[in-house]
Structure 1
Amino acid sequence: MPSVSRRDLMAAAAAALAPAFVSAARAQKLPKVEFLYSPFADYAPFFVAKELGFFKDFGVEVTLQPKGGTAETIQLLASGNTEAGAATWGAGLFNALDRGATVAIIATSARMPATVPSPSPFMISQKAWDAGIRTVAGLKGKRVGIPGPSGFGMFSVAKALEKGGLTIEDIEPVYLPPPATAAAFANGGLEAGWSIEPFARQLEKQGLGRRLVEDHTFGTELGLIAFNQDFVARNEDAVVRFMAGYLKAARLLDKGGWQDDKVLDIVAKYTGTERDALRGIPYTVRSEDGAIDMASVREQEEFFRKRGALEYKGPAKIDAVYRLDLLKRANELVASKP
């Protein structure tokens, strides 16, 4: 057998290690995006894209960061303190866009389905039900939970109240986040309130509340995906790659992915719920290409205008910051990598 020199051994070792070094180098070069999320089931596409490696498959490193409400998200994005996040449509966002907030809107993040049960029902507490309040009209003068005074929750509650001939002025609004509704229902602090999955199902399972209205927001745009404008200007490819990962995950979910235990485990991890609590709940949906239904957005804008919550006249300048060109590129990227 011919002898092997030390030089040959070193060369062989280097060759064997080369793929690992190349892989590590490539990983270090991936553009990075921090994305702000809330622990709700409608954020599932982002959780799935992260944990199943879709973002990395398309060449972007994503960090998911928990956040507060829409106002905080838009403020952090506009100031450049983070790169991306999802937010709900509402007066604060409309006003910020009119003032020229430095954000770019890329796509829808969630839309209400045109079916029942609803992933965001208007619920009545079991205590109120037991006390004889069985209709929306019976809530006149009662305490109703709303996540905030100027967001989708307010719009949704107003649409539900319309079913009983009421308006926001006919009830006593109590502003609190969905996770706090359980305690308020239990101690009698609320008669009714807005909810969203998985919290709605938890209220039902705990015997604290029941669905009162579910057909009030069919097809309504719930939220959007936004980026800091300066980041987009410097990193268009990263935005496209991020959106491709999101679209792939959204399509997986909307085409039956919720039946997969692995998917449920991922969503349970980020929402802080048990897997079985997510099984079979109603889910938000999205347009397949991620496009926003602007008619729905304008309906919400008009609602807040009538409430005197908008600081400007005419339609908000959404088209100026809606980057359909990047969304189109993201769809093309997904199509190129089936």
Structure 2
Amino acid sequence: MIHTNATDEPLVRLRDLGVTFTGGRKPVRAVSGVSLDLRRGEVLALIGESGSGKSVTLRTLLRLHPERRTTLAGEVRVAGRDVLAMSGRALADYRGKVVSMIFQEPLLALDPVYSVGAQIVESIRRHDGVDAATARQRALALFERVRIPSPERRLAAYPHEMSGGMRQRAMIALALACEPQLLLADEPTTALDATVQIQILLLLRELQRELGLSIIFVTHDIGAAVEVADRIAVMYAGRIVEEGTARELIRTPRHPYTRALLQGRAHGAMQKGVALQTIPGAPPDLSAPPPGCAFAERCAHATETCRSQLPPVEEPSPGHRVRCLRLHEIS
């Protein structure tokens, strides 16, 4: 991975981010108090169960939530820009050029009535103002870079004419078309078989190193996070409960939820001699979040204080942050 000087201004700065959806019968606080920094050339993985707020946080960086039914709070800055204050025109220029996204299911993200090549050419011309021939040559070079075989022929293919792995490579090419500074990857390997998943992860890691990209990678799979990320942030019920370097978080997890995720990995326990386990219960209803630790009802170490008092963020070692009232008792 590419690392930068710790004194550099972060490419991404989130402070006390809150996202509330108001379209249903009750407001849903999908994200609460999320603060994160992402350095240039760094890869951050957001992990956690479905509904933990990972994708909601990711989409906020592009302001993709329906504005009339979403309330955003806090600070979101990318490359020095205040994302929450951007006008519609500024957002159109920002999306794709500064920040781009690889979606979970490219068959839904790509337009079915245009060839994949035409969509990439349109994106390049929209942002960079080049002629069609130049844009097509760049699209062809992108297909070659992401290792799509017979790139000339594939440029003319429609999304439904490609395999799942090929579509995902085309989605990566589209995301890179305008040379963004930040790449958002929303579970880009979920719909693929195991062999293709590995290929896509290796491709993303290679492209990150080659282009010096910053990446935020959302996944359920801790194993995938370790393969790709410099740092990992664990989300639960809309909050980050643990954050640290990938190596430290895997070797010395401090939050009970992180430990439960590690012990419940699909490929077996990460630590030798630890049996594969499931997490009892279910995440809380975020239309009526609990007053204390959201994980308390599923945690074997929880006390009544845990259920009534929101844990503060502590830093047991430099850069390793944990939100747990019993951090020093159960470590």
TM-score, normalised on structure 2?
A: 0.28
TM-score (norm 1): 0.27
Larger helix proportion of the pair: 1
Larger Rg: 1
